[in-house]
Amino acid sequence: MKITVEKQMELKDKILVGLEKVYEKLIEFKKQKNSELVIMKDNEIVRIKPE
């Protein structure tokens, strides 16, 4: 099965939309639980409170 460039772009767009939704839900969950968010910033692990 050959995937066309258009189909690849469509799949990429769907994946990016899904990742954005997961990110939003993660932030919402962390706010509800009053839990720190652990991220990588300037090659350092940083803990922040979601706002």
Q: How many domains does the chain have?
A: 1
- pTM (2 d.p.): 0.72
Q: What is the 3-state secondary structure (H, E, C) of 4-41?
A: CHHHHHHHHHHHHHHHHHHHHHHHHHHHHHCCCEEEEE
**Which pLDDT belongs to residue 37?**
93
**Which pLDDT belongs to residue 3?**
82
The closest of 41, 42, 32, 13 to 50, measured between CA atoms, is: 32
Domain that holds residue 37: 5-48
**Which pLDDT belongs to residue 46?**
96
**Which pLDDT belongs to residue 4?**
94
The closest of 4, 50, 2, 6 to 29, measured between CA atoms, is: 50
Q: How far apart are CA 15 and CA 25, in angstroms?
A: 15
pLDDT along the chain (51 residues), means of 10: 89 98 94 93 93 76
